[in-house]
DNA sequence: GATGAATGAGTCTTCATTCAT
DNA sequence: AATGAATGAAGACTCATTCAT
């Protein structure tokens, strides 16, 4: 039984997936019809359904695939033996997405935005995305802890809170780049550099359980 | 020649718009059918089309309305005669959205995410959103300049880059809250506080056009 | 809210149902497409789905409706105060279906055959059909008991077994009429009349492989 | 020029046909997809089409094959040199189908019902089925004539009408067994036995062309 | 002969929108 | 102004059949 080889099978799936994002970016995830994807992929309707159960699986796989690529981009930076110092680190992380976008010819920022939106109403996608962000944030926490050990950051600071703040910067840059197109890594880095020089004259507003000390 | 007063007309539009976000949040913008909205609004199909041209106008107006509410929330904080100091400011801005969400019973974070995604493929929405973010960022720049005058931030820092970074931070916090649900204003402020204490040992890696002057 | 009146609603349903059997008889239940029914009904696709959930409901209702008509035809004969004598009874029952077929212009025999076949793989239809046949047979049993009281049939005979045999005659006539077209009520009655004159030389077979000699 | 022997060819056809009825009985003739049959047969799509032109031929052959088996079951009983007496005859015929069903593990009653339904809209199947029933009825007529010669049945009775009635009975028993499952040969025979003892007090109502001479 | 991936016409169903009342 | 039944063009998906290997 000379079934198609696993390799060929994956090639077909890739061929179809390669057609998905151009469509999604052009018309939006839900406004894209299967016919759009089918035409773009160059295959027949039946063939697409031979490799994917239906539109839902296609959406899920498309998002999952891109999250995987993103992971591949960020992993080296996040898990370096010795973490970069804060500003180089920010620059490096912010650059990863920009580079990939340029390389693949797909606006990864827009892809990510659509993924987040999809996650709001699609449980499977939400699981994917939250798991990714959680891991991402955990890695950031580890980096912050290194910074603390290396005295870049005060030892008594809340590493997790800092990781959350850092993640916000990165996620927000994606939004800003997708919508305004002028939030390049260098600018973000410079902005954060400016912020880091900020003096903290008074304690922050006494929120509920805010103050620690 | 309107047969009803402008006031009544607006009341009807509001009634319909009030039905839109619950639907969008439940099923997503495009998976929501007109019938969903019609049922939720308690009006008839015909009535809805009497007040809105079609689904597109409904989407646009729904997003526009929420941007308006957001503007109302942020304006007082952003345009205070004398801007808050950095940490209180961060806390105040981050709180604005959380408060509104609690008050209106609508997850504003999710609404905003959907709006961004919609903006990717809908020109009218994109115009709305970019205009909003641009104004928001300009206001942030003004605040940063105040900080510089008050020596919270170094005078030679790039105020616009800092505003972009700040905007990223706020936008990213929306994402984080929508997806992970654990990015409350207090934690975020604490994270920023921790970051502000960061020392910048070396200049960041001299990327492409990094340093302006 | 001037919804359509229940009467109008039923009229529409009838209009659609009236289109169903001509289609089913022409092409078969499953080879009939919704488009066939839609075209035959003179309505639009949407309208048909406004009155029936889908094809399954249409099939079920179509069969149910015809069973109802059949019930209406048979009830008067089966539940007469004083049952007809055997031969007139057979003739009357067998005529009921023939008459209806002529009146409605729909070959009820074929309809019934399709219903039976559908029942083999469609639980809801099976429930409908078996319930009908069971009731039908119970009524026959009651008639046979009357015959026993009136000495047409021996008192010690098994009334239920006789009812089963009678039902077989009637059901089989439907088949024969649908396929060969020459099993009219008069002929069936004459055939049974001939059988009734049969002498039973030996006792009937007792158990399974029962006596023969 | 067949590349394989006729014997091998027939073996392959049998292998495929063996897969057909299990599928048909499970899902219905038309709801069964070629893929269902292909999977059940253990062959490839191409192979099935090598031995059968298409689904239509498969349906026709499947029905034809089962009619052939039925013929094989009934022939010995119907064409005995000396026909059985009425009650043993009824029992024997009714048993034939039940036995086969048990032996082959396929519910022959259901198969037959589906065949009849298919015949309503498929000319080739109709030809097959009517030819079968006609022959069957002719054989029954011959049996009835033997009964007349042996005085089981009155000589002046209409042998053909009696054969039609008998055929109805047998066909109807198939229906009853398929749908209610409680029409076993013994019960049916007992029912007929009870009927044969029926007295015919008056002539049946002089319907249209009832009595011939 | 045998395989099973590929095809694409056709299926059921939904849904934004209209319009007679 | 208001209603909601009706429309019909898409939409997602299936499946009998073919053909390159």
C126/D179 Cβ within 8 A: yes
Residue of chain C nearest D187, judged by CA positions: C161
Residue C123 and residue D152 in contact, taking contact as beta carbons nearer than 8 Å: no
> So what's the pLDDT on residue C3?
77
Partners of D202 on chain C (C-beta within 8 Å) are 85
Query: DSSP of C19-55, one letter per residue?
Result: HHHHHHHHH-TTT--HHHHHHHHTS-HHHHHHH-SSH
D163/C168 Cβ within 8 A: no
For the segment D63-114, what is each residue's pLDDT rounded down to a tens digit?
A: 999 999 999 999 999 999 999 999 999 999 999 988 888 888 899 999 999 9
How many cross-chain Cβ pairs, C to D, lie less than 8 Å apart? 276
> So what's the pLDDT on residue A213?
34
Straight-line distance from CA D206 to C1' F21, in Å?
A: 74
Straight-line distance from CA B54 to C1' E16, in Å?
A: 8
> So what's the pLDDT on residue D125?
98
Residues 73-132 of chain B with CB under 7 A from strand E are none
Minimal Cβ distance to A120: which of B86, B113, B188: B113
> So what's the pLDDT on residue B147?
96
> Which subunits have 3 or more CB–CB pairs within 8 Å of chain A?
B
Is this model's pTM higher than 0.85 or not?
yes
Minimal Cβ distance to A196: which of B151, B186, B196: B196
D121/C28 Cβ within 8 A: yes
Domains of chain B: 1-52 (1.10.10.60), 64-196 (1.10.357.10)
> So what's the pLDDT on residue C201?
52
Q: Pick from A68-77, A201-210, C14-23 the range whose average pLDDT is largest.
A: C14-23
Question: Would the pLDDT of A205 be above 80?
Answer: no
Minimal Cβ distance to D120: which of C30, C95, C114: C114
Low-confidence spans in chain C with pLDDT less than 50: 1, 202-213
Query: DSSP of chain A, one letter per residue?
Result: --PPPHHHHHHHHHHHHHHHHHHHHHH-TTT--HHHHHHHHTS-HHHHHHHSSSHHHHHHHHHHHHHHHHHHHHHHHHT-SSPPPHHHHHHHHHHHHHHHHHHHSS-HHHHHHHHHHHHTT-HHHHHHHHHHHHHHHHHHHHHHHHHHHTTSS-TTS-HHHHHHHHHHHHHHHHHHHHHTS---HHHHHHHHHHHHT----SPPP--SS----
Longest distance between any two alpha carbons in chain A, whole Å: 75
Does at least one atom of strand E sit less than 7 Å from the CB of D46? yes
* CB atoms closer than 10 angstroms to residue C78: 21
Lookup: nucleotide whose C1' is closest to D35 CA: F15
Overall average pLDDT of the D130-139 stretch: 97
Overall average pLDDT of the A183-199 stretch: 91
Does at least one atom of strand E sit less than 7 Å from the CB of D50? yes
- Find and give the residue nearest to E11, measured CA to C1': C33
> So what's the pLDDT on residue B2?
54
Minimal Cβ distance to B172: which of A88, A168, A195: A168
C-alpha distance from A15 to closest chain B C-alpha (Å): 23
C-alpha distance from C160 to closest chain D C-alpha (Å): 8
Residue of chain D nearest C178, judged by CA positions: D120
Confidence of residue A197 (pLDDT cuts 50, 70, 90): confident
Low-confidence spans in chain B with pLDDT less than 50: 1, 202-213
For the segment A99-147, what is each residue's pLDDT rounded down to a tens digit?
A: 888 888 899 999 999 999 999 999 999 999 999 999 999 999 999 999 9
- Find and give the residue nearest to F12, measured CA to C1': A34
For the segment D148-195, what is each residue's pLDDT rounded down to a tens digit?
A: 999 999 999 999 999 999 999 999 999 999 999 999 999 999 999 999
Overall average pLDDT of the D133-145 stretch: 97
Which of A94-103, A115-124, D7-16 has the weakest average pLDDT? A94-103
> So what's the pLDDT on residue C2?
57
What are the distances in angstroms from CA D147 to CA B89, C194, D95, D162, D211? Answer: 109, 11, 20, 11, 21
Angle at B122 between CA B120 and CA B123, to 5 degrees: 100
Longest distance between any two alpha carbons in chain D, whole Å: 70
Minimal Cβ distance to A180: which of B134, B152, B203: B134
D172/C167 Cβ within 8 A: yes
Residues 30-59 of chain B with CB under 7 A from strand E are 31-35, 45-46, 49, 54-56
Residues 9-48 of chain A with CB under 7 A from strand E are 12, 43-47
- The upper half-sphere exposure of residue B149, i.e. CA atoms within 13 Å in the direction of its Cβ, equals 9
Q: Which residues are CB-contacts of B106 (< 8 A; sequence separation ≥ 6)? A: B21, B22, B25
Question: Would the pLDDT of A183 be above 50?
Answer: yes
Residue of chain B nearest A194, judged by CA positions: B157
> Which subunits have 3 or more CB–CB pairs within 8 Å of chain C?
D
Rounded-to-10 torsion of CA B125, B131, B132, B134? 140
C-alpha distance from C65 to closest chain D C-alpha (Å): 19
Whose tokens are 């024997």? That residue is D92
Residue of chain B nearest A125, judged by CA positions: B179
Interface test with C, best of D123, D193, D201 (most C CBs within 10 A): D193
User: Which residue from A17, A18, A55, A181 is spatially nearest to A110, judged by alpha carbons?
Assistant: A181
Residue of chain C nearest D30, judged by CA positions: C30
What are the distances in angstroms from CA B47 to CA B9, B12, B22, B57, D168? Answer: 11, 9, 19, 14, 62
Enumerate the nucleotides of strand E whose atoms come under 7 Å of any protein CB.
Answer: 1-20
């Amino acid at each position: 039984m000379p079934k198609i080889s696993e390799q060929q099978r994956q090639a077909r799936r890739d061929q179809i997936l390669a057609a998905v994002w151009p469509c999604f970016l052009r018309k939006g995830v839900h406004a894209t019809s299967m016919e759009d994807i089918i035409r773009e992929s160059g295959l027949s309707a039946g063939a697409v359904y031979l490799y994917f159960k239906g539109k839902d699986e296609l959406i899920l796989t498309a998002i999952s695939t891109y999250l995987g690529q993103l992971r591949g981009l960020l992993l080296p930076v996040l898990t370096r033996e010795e973490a970069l110092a804060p500003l180089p680190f920010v620059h490096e992380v912010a650059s990863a997405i920009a580079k990939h976008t340029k390389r693949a010819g797909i606006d990864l920022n827009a892809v990510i935005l659509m993924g987040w939106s999809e996650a709001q109403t699609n449980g499977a996608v939400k699981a994917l995305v939250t798991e990714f962000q959680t891991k991402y944030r955990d890695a950031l926490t580890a980096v912050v802890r290194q910074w603390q050990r290396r005295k870049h950051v005060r030892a008594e600071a809340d590493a997790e809170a800092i990781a959350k703040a850092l993640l916000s910067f990165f996620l927000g840059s994606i939004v800003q780049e997708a919508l305004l197109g002028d939030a390049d890594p260098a600018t973000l880095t410079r902005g954060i550099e400016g912020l880091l020089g900020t003096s903290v004259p008074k304690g922050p507003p006494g929120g509920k359980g805010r103050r620690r000390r």
